Amino acid sequence: MRSKGLQAYCFGLYAFLYAPLAVMVAFSFNTARRNVAWKGFTFQWYGALLRDAELARSVATTLELAVVASLMAAVMGMLAAYAMTRHAPFKGRGLYSALLNAPLMMPEIVMGVGLLSFFSRAGVPLNFWSLACAHALIALPFTTASIRARLLSLKESSLEDAAMDLGATEWEAFLQITLPLARPAIISGALLAFTVSFEDFVTSFFIAGIGIVTMPIKIYSMMKFGVTPEINALATCLLAITIGFLFIQRFLDARSRLN
């Protein structure tokens, strides 16, 4: 029967997708040092994580980066989306919008190499701020898309027209109507940008200067000695955080569509 076959296919697909995650989560609670056999339940690896100062520093760096990069991407995304939705169709708008989305399509390795050679040519020191700029660049398509969709639906409802009709200048209408009503989309876009920056490895690997160790880079270096239960525990934490973020983001998206 058709549905039996489909069921089996779906089951197989989801097993393939999620079994590795399940194994990883399970082994993060395993007492054994090796990921081979189940010996018993423990929280010890989570404790070890907390005591690892180097790891803690890399997590802090990653969080700081993600906050700065998502703020930058949110501000730039708002400006870009406003330009694309509010102003009379300007010449090259299609190209502008395609270029904004390019980082989505571009292989990350190309971005990494490109940014590295650009920064070294331009004499920009490789530090926290140059890395933050790079992250903002990768995250920009996400914030722009989210805010743009919201601004388009706002435009449909003539709310800004109504504000200007009642005497508000374009700037006043932006501050009092557009910005508050676009806020859920801005936050939702910024959350996406946050996760993009948080988990970025390739770009960071290329342009992180000396002394800047983000968490993904730290995990990579830990893995050189094999996948330890600490790494499983760390990945499990990241998984939990990511799922939490996704929920918040979906919730905000739904709310921004409802109004």
The residues that touch another protein, with contacts defined as CB under 8 A, are: 157-159, 161-170, 172, 176-177, 180-181, 259
Residue closer to another protein, measured from CB, 162 or 223: 162
Phi, psi dihedrals of residue 41, rounded to the nearest 5°: -90, 135
Pick the closest to residue 142 from 101, 94, 95, 96 (CA basis): 101
Contact 174, 165 (CB under 8 A): no
Residue closer to another protein, measured from CB, 64 or 161: 161
Least distance from another protein to the Cβ atom of residue 167, Å: 5
Which SS3 state, helix, strand or coil, does residue 41 take? strand
Residue closer to another protein, measured from CB, 64 or 172: 172
Least distance from another protein to the Cβ atom of residue 111, Å: 38
Residue closer to another protein, measured from CB, 4 or 156: 156
Q: In whole angstroms, what is the distance from residue 193 CA to residue 88 CA?
A: 28
Least distance from another protein to the Cβ atom of residue 86, Å: 13
Contact 135, 65 (CB under 8 A): yes
Phi, psi dihedrals of residue 168, rounded to the nearest 5°: -80, 140
Least distance from another protein to the Cβ atom of residue 160, Å: 9
